[in-house]
Amino acid sequence: MLVATTAAMGAGFVPAQLAAQDSADLRMMWWGSQPRAERTFALIEKFEEANPGITVRGETVGWADYWTRLATQVAGRNAPDLIQQDYRYIFEYAGRGALLDLSPYLDDILSLPGVDETGLEGGMSDGKLWGINLGVNSVSLMVNATVFEEAGVALPENGMTWDEIMDLAQEVAEKSDRVRYGFEDSSGYEPTLHNWLRQRGKELYTAEGELAFDVDDMVEWYEFWQDKREAGLVPPADIQALDQRSIETHQVSLGNVAMGVANSNQLVGFSQINEDEIVMRVLPLVEEGATGGHFYKPSMLLSVSAATRSPEAAVAFVNFMATDPEAARILDVERGVSVSSVAREAMQDVLDDAGRAQIDFIESLDPYAGTLPPPPPQGAGEIDRLMIEVSQQVGFGQLSAQQGAERIVSEATRILARNN
Residues 266 and 342 in one domain: no
Domain end residue (candidates: 363, 386, 411): 363
DSSP of 389-416: HHHHHHHTTSS-HHHHHHHHHHHHHHHH
- In a domain, residue 373? The reply is no
* 257 & 405 share domain: yes
User: Residue 320's closest CA among 3, 17, 6, 11?
Assistant: 17
Residue 372 lies in a domain: no
The pLDDT assigned to 14 comes to 41
Query: What is the structure's pLDDT at 20?
Result: 42
Q: Are 43 and 126 in a shared domain? A: yes
Q: Does residue 354 share a domain with residue 235?
A: no
Answer yes or no: do 97 and 183 share one domain: no
**Number of structural domains found in the chain:** 2
**Are 70 and 186 in the same domain?**
no
Domain that holds residue 57: 2-136+298-363
Tens digit of pLDDT at every position of the chain (420 positions): 443 333 333 333 344 444 444 699 999 999 998 989 999 999 999 999 999 999 999 999 998 899 999 999 999 999 999 999 999 899 989 999 999 999 999 999 999 998 988 788 889 988 999 999 999 999 999 999 999 999 999 999 999 999 999 999 999 999 999 999 999 999 999 999 999 999 999 999 999 999 999 999 999 999 999 999 999 999 999 999 999 889 999 999 999 999 999 999 899 889 989 999 999 999 999 999 999 999 998 889 999 999 999 999 999 999 999 999 999 999 999 898 898 989 988 998 899 898 889 888 988 898 999 999 988 898 998 999 999 999 999 999 999 999 999 999 999 999 999 987
Contact indicator for 150, 178 with CB cutoff of 8 Å: yes
**Final residue belonging to a domain, choices 335, 363, 391:** 363
| CATH code of the domain covering residue 148 | 3.40.190.10
Please report whether residue 370 resides in a domain. Answer: no
Q: Tell me if 368 is assigned to some domain.
A: no
Q: 92 and 56 in one domain?
A: yes
Residue 183 lies in a domain: yes
Asked whether residue 355 is domain-assigned, the answer is yes
The Cα–Cα gap between 337 and 137 comes to: 7
Statement to judge: residues 29 and 157 lie in one domain:
no
Answer whether 295's CB lies under 8 Å from 371's CB. Answer: yes
Name the nearest CA neighbour of 261 among 136, 88, 86, 142: 142
Q: Answer whether residue 264 is part of any domain.
A: yes
Last residue of some domain: 363, 389, 411?
A: 363
Decide if 172 contacts 148 (C-beta within 8 A). yes
Do 16 and 70 sit in the same domain of this protein? yes
What's the DSSP call for residue 283?
P
Q: Which of 222, 221, 204, 223 is nearest to 212 (CA)?
A: 204
Same domain, 235 and 326: no
Q: Is the pTM of this model over 0.85?
A: no
In this structure, the answer to whether residues 286 and 302 fall within a common structural domain is no
The secondary structure of 349-361, three-state, reads: HHCCHHHHHHHHH
Examine residue 169 and state whether it is found in any structural domain, yes or no: yes
The predicted structure's pLDDT at residue 22: 67
Q: In this structure, which amino acid lies at residue 9?
A: M
The Cα–Cα gap between 85 and 83 comes to 6
Do 356 and 329 sit in the same domain of this protein? yes
